Amino acid sequence: MSDTYYVTTPIYYVNDVPHIGHSYTTIAADVLARFFRAAGRDVHFLTGTDEHGIKIVKAATEKGTTPQALADDVVTHFRRLWVDLNISNDDFIRTTEPRHENRVQTLIRELVARDEIYLATYEGWYDETQEEYVTESTARANDYKSEISGKPLVRYSEENWFFRLKKWVPKLIEHIEKVNPKFVQPDARRNEVLSKLRMGMESGELADLCISRNKEKLPWGVEMPNDPNHVVYVWIDALSNYYSALGLPAIGDEFDNRDAKYWPADVHLIGKDILWFHAVYWPCFLMALDIPMPKCVFAHGWWTSEGQKMSKSLGNFVSREKIAEYCEEYSRDVYRYYLLRAVTFGSDGDFAHDMVQQVYNSDLANGVGNLLSRTLKMISKYFDGEIPAPEEDVEDVRWVKTAAEALHDNAVGWMDAFAFSKYLEAINALIGATNKFIDDTEPFKLAKDEAQRSRLATVLYTCAEAVRIVLLYLAPVMPDKTTAGLERLGLTTTDENLTDAGRWGGLQPGGKVTPGDPLFPRAQN
Ligand code: MSP
């Protein structure tokens, strides 16, 4: 049995169509899923949509439709975008599906049985855009507006069900501090969560969590199984998707335990704005139910566009249409590559047309694209398209081999640590070392001297082998282009485990190569 790897994205609200932010998390998750599948793990990759709550009701009302009709429409945009971006998710969950709703109710019933929830009156501020109650001091500090959207807070007074959150916080702090120091990543976010938890405990402001909403005000949700006057708070409903999608807990339907072996999740990838829900509410909820916690929650940064916060009125919104334009101009692989290459995962990034072009030209057109076409052309010209056999132990091959080995030996570790930048840097270092090797060894000169024939064979085998390894490791990020590149090298993408296939020396001499048009033609201004 191979190791399992379960990666999730947030489930996206269906109040509006998808944009770059949604595509970012989903692409990152896809790259992890593809990489670990290639590395031999048994991967499960989940995404989906979050369809209940006040946000959806309001958007539906504004559009003159019903929440269900809005969800049914918007979900198709997400699904289509994931097909367009070559996302390889294994499952797609909608929170309005019975398989999910019924399991949420079972989890709530279990909380009731364990005396983890109680009825009380809540009086205070509510942030409708974030679907969150806000303490008086936070409300005051933000001028009674949402910290995230800037929209005015709303005064709520309701009888509601509360989850005994405070009771679990000391155990959570211990978990993050000692038991699993990698639980919240990156480190800066972990420190942020820890200090907010400690401050909340010390000041007494950290309250139990209200997990229901009055059904008269908000009928669009999962009914509380113990109280028909209430629906489940949308965040509790939503977070449960990571568990319910696996067919957990068992409730006696056809989904029971279907993918149970994947729990606990290896990582929930999320944006930094929804960290608190994932790093605090979700693990406490699981502890109260005696369910193992996910291994890690990784919060990435936010994208601005052309140097400014994205907004429809500014015209810099990277919408689904805009993404389609980039895919048309550069290919979907390039869009995927840019998002992971432009910033360290965890930091904020800016999506700017000039930058896309710069990265495209330097890494792809001049980098891997040029290396592939140089190599194929020389093998065609000097060896009639047949990959030559290398001599043994040639001194200057060492630099290329070392770069390839550094990539091979560290790739799994980097991906386990979500260090996409290091992974891509190592690929680019191998490309750079190989291009330099060509410049240093001057194969076009060697070709003029018959006595240098076997040295020329070594040089070109080395280049072809380096390109093969580059393409294999780029494949999770750029599945289309790398398949095309490998085909030109006479290779099909195989089921062979990346850990073996990515080792230096795997390329068999004698294979036929076919040079074609450039994989990444230079982009002009
Ligand atoms: N429905 C909740 C998540 C529930 S998960 C149990 C939600 N949905 S969302 O559609 O509003 O946002 C989903 C993700 O998009 C969040 O992780 C958020 O960080 C991300 N982004 C939204 N705008 C973004 C950028 N401009 N840049 C990067 N990511 C951004 O929250």
Best residue for ligand 1 mutational test, from 13, 51, 78, 320 (most atoms within 8 Å of Cβ): 13
Determine the atom of ligand 1 nearest the C-alpha atom of 270: 17
Delineate the domains of the chain, giving CATH numbers in brackets: 353-501 (1.10.730.10)
**196 vs 1, residue with greater confidence:** 196
Burial class (CB in 10 A: 0-12, 13-18, 19+), 515: middle
Residue 158 pLDDT grade (very low, low, confident, very high; cuts 50, 70, 90): confident
Determine the atom of ligand 1 nearest the C-alpha atom of 9: 5
Burial class (CB in 10 A: 0-12, 13-18, 19+), 216: exposed
Residue 395 pLDDT grade (very low, low, confident, very high; cuts 50, 70, 90): confident
Nearest Cα residue to atom 8 of ligand 1: 12
Q: How many CA atoms lie within 13 A of 78 on its CB side?
A: 28
State if residue 317 touches ligand 1 by the CB under 6 angstroms criterion: no
pTM of the model: 0.95
Contact 221, 51 (CB under 8 A): no
Q: Which amino acid type is present at position 167?
A: K
Per-residue pLDDT of 195-206, as tens digits, reads 999 999 999 889
Contact 432, 354 (CB under 8 A): no
CA distance 62 to 70: 11
Share of the chain above pLDDT 90, in %: 87
First-last CA distance in the chain: 51
Residue 357 pLDDT grade (very low, low, confident, very high; cuts 50, 70, 90): very high
Nearest Cα residue to atom 21 of ligand 1: 21
- CA 336 – ligand 1 centroid, Å: 18
State if residue 239 touches ligand 1 by the CB under 6 angstroms criterion: yes
Q: Which amino acid type is present at position 21?
A: G
- CA 132 – ligand 1 centroid, Å: 15
Which of 263-272, 448-457, 494-503 is predicted with the least confidence, judged by mean pLDDT? 494-503
Residue 496 pLDDT grade (very low, low, confident, very high; cuts 50, 70, 90): confident
Best residue for ligand 1 mutational test, from 25, 92, 148 (most atoms within 8 Å of Cβ): 25
Q: Which amino acid type is present at position 271?
A: G
Residue 491 pLDDT grade (very low, low, confident, very high; cuts 50, 70, 90): very high
State if residue 24 touches ligand 1 by the CB under 6 angstroms criterion: yes
CA distance 437 to 414: 26
Average pLDDT over residues 370-393: 94
Determine the atom of ligand 1 nearest the C-alpha atom of 241: 6
- CA 486 – ligand 1 centroid, Å: 35
pLDDT at 193: 98
* 30 pLDDT more than 80: yes
pLDDT at 137: 83
Best residue for ligand 1 mutational test, from 70, 273, 276 (most atoms within 8 Å of Cβ): 273
